[in-house]
Chain A
Amino acid sequence: MTKKRYERPVISKHYSGLMNKYGGRQMTPPKTHLDGIAVKELTEKFGSPLFVMSEKQIRNNQQNANRIFKNRYPKVQFAWSYKTNYLDAVCSVFHQENSWAEVVSSFEYEKAKKLGVKGEHIIFNGPDKSSEALLHAIKDTAKIHIDHFDELYEIKKITETEKLKAKVAIRINMDVGVYPKWDRFGFNLENGEAWQAIQRIASNKNLQLIGLHSHIGTYMMSAEAYRLAAQKLSLLAKSIKTDLGIAIEYLDLGGGFASHNTLLGQYLPAEQIVPTFEQFADAIASGIFSASFKTEELPLLILETGRALVDDAGFLLSTVLANKRLADQRRAIIIDAGVNILFTSFWYKHKITPAQESGMHSEDVTLYGPLCMNIDCVRESIVLPPLNKGDRLVIEYVGAYDMTQWMQFIQMRPNVVMIMEDGTVELIRKSENLEYLLDREILPVKFKKSSKQSKTKH
């Protein structure tokens, strides 16, 4: 006779009105496989914790986004926002799906070039671009999005001394009814600063103004804000044409579409309240059309969508290290993935699902990471079935920002694998070890123990 699966014995009390919250049937089935590969197999082979990216899901997301936008607007170009996830393998999938690169630092820029992205397909954003980086970008004919006047003058100086021409756009911030307003990046539209910058560029023979850029915020839940932004940029482009005779080639609406991760403190699940890609696309297209461009003068629409294209293509597999009870009798579970690699747990209520079958019973627990630091709480409160040491959990929607904002702190960063479309699994980033860490450290000579000393000591 085969034995029944053992589950830690638990009892929970029913409180009237809350009958189904705890102790009830577990709502979600276990997630035993990712893209057909067993979670157990993955952690046995590549260790735990383990980040897993799905090539298939990234491609689906990008193809879907292309289709939805192209059904609503004739000229659309996506540019992959590197900071969202700049693992080479991930960027490569986006580039194969025809996305350009959107970078905000020199090293991201170099990464894109190493991956074979042409200069003219790199959008260089951000407030920090060194003179060397700017010179490099100008020579590559990259699209430089100017953030402030100091940068504008720096570019002017470089083009004069080097006798070069630069293709530039400006980043614009504006009121689109979203608070807090993001006014720290770019030039303000309402107070005339943007127009001033445009005039300075227009009056310089070395600078060619080719685009207008905005990125109104991140995890935006309002499609209407994009309609307003698209409309304002379009009207500005038309004034530039009329007053200065310059035809703006593209409008870049940035990124910021909310993904399906539910925010902490948000009651309803994100799927129910976040606008769909269709709604964002409708809003943006109608914003541009409302400026009544002539058909042949419609600008190219660029999008720098980050999290909404990659969040659901990333998973973090984790293992239960221990069960314990807190002083007030609440149950706590310690898992091997901490906030150092799951930065987004400060914002999101991630979907967390057991990777093995469990009974019908569930209880409210606090999930802690493995770090010996009070801050390492992955979730204050979550309803899970009783888990045994060694059981595995799948943390979902971690494709965006976790693999760039993670840090080595007490624990090293783990392996990252990608499940390929053909069902094979490739290691795309190796876990770190002590050697990797010490490679960057330099111990001053006087602290070094000579072999002689260590001999006398022992």
Chain B
Amino acid sequence: MTNYHLQENLAVSDSGFLFHASTGETFTVNETGKTIIKLLQQKKEKDEIFSQLVNEFDIEAGLLEKDYEDFINQLKNFSLIEVK
């Protein structure tokens, strides 16, 4: 089980515009970032997220780990993720 979860009240548009309704903050995410956020919103686990990314993008699962962890850290930095 993941020990973190995405904040509620997040809206992400198809163009990658991200709005955090509780704080009024806005962000931009790229295509891969948007896909991950959407999957996190659906409460998907890491391995499900990875297999989805591998299906959609030209990348091997083995190479995803580092980038994924880095992205989660960025989300934590912006307080978009809560650590349980």
Contact = CB atoms under 8 A, between A and B. Distances in A.
Given A23-B27, A361-B29, A386-B30, A11 B58 contact: no
A4 B54 CA distance: 10
A322 B27 CA distance: 25
Nearest to B78: A13
Contact of A11 (B29, B53, B59, B68): B29
Given A4-B56, A4-B57, A4-B58, A10 B31 contact: no
B22 interface: no
Interface residues of B, number: 29
A406 to B, nearest CB: 33
A5 B58 contact: yes
Interface string B44-56: 0000000001011
A12 B59 contact: no
B74 A11 contact: yes
B56 A11 contact: no
Contact of A9 (B26, B68, B78): B68
Contact of B77 (A4, A329, A386): A329
A325 interface: yes
A359 interface: yes
A446 interface: no
B70 interface: yes
Q: Is the interface of B mostly helix, strand, loop or mixed?
A: helix
B7 interface: no
Contacts of B28: 11-12, 14, 22-24, 361
B31 A359 contact: yes
A7 interface: yes
A3 B58 contact: yes
B27 A14 contact: yes
A427 interface: no
Given A325-B73, A329-B77, A361-B16, A9 B36 contact: yes
Contacts of B67: 8-9
Contacts of A6: 32, 53, 57-59
A360 interface: yes
B14 interface: no
A12 B73 contact: no
A379 to B, nearest CB: 21
A359 B35 CA distance: 14
Interface in B11-26: 16, 18, 25-26
Nearest to B59: A6
A3 B70 contact: no
A96 B56 CA distance: 54
B74 A10 contact: yes
Given A13-B78, A325-B70, A361-B16, A7 B31 contact: yes
Contact of A7 (B32, B56, B68, B75): B32
B2 to A, nearest CB: 16
A359 B15 CA distance: 11
Contacts of B30: 7, 9-10, 359-361, 386
Nearest to B30: A361
A315 to B, nearest CB: 27
A3 B56 contact: yes
* Most chain A beta-carbon neighbours within 10 Å: one of B28, B31, B75, B80: B28
A153 to B, nearest CB: 68
Contacts of A22: 28
* Most chain A beta-carbon neighbours within 10 Å: one of B16, B18, B30: B30
Interface of A: 3-14, 22-24, 323, 325, 329, 359-361, 386
5 A-B pairs with the lowest CB-CB distances in the bound complex, closest first: A23-B28, A361-B30, A6-B59, A9-B33, A9-B71
Given A3-B57, A4-B31, 9 more contacts: A6-B32, A8-B32, A9-B68, A10-B71, A11-B18, A12-B28, A23-B28, A325-B70, A361-B29
Interface of B: 16, 18, 25-33, 35-36, 53, 55-59, 67-68, 70-71, 73-75, 77-78, 80
10 contacts: A6-B32, A6-B57, A6-B59, A7-B32, A9-B29, A9-B35, A10-B29, A11-B27, A360-B30, A361-B28
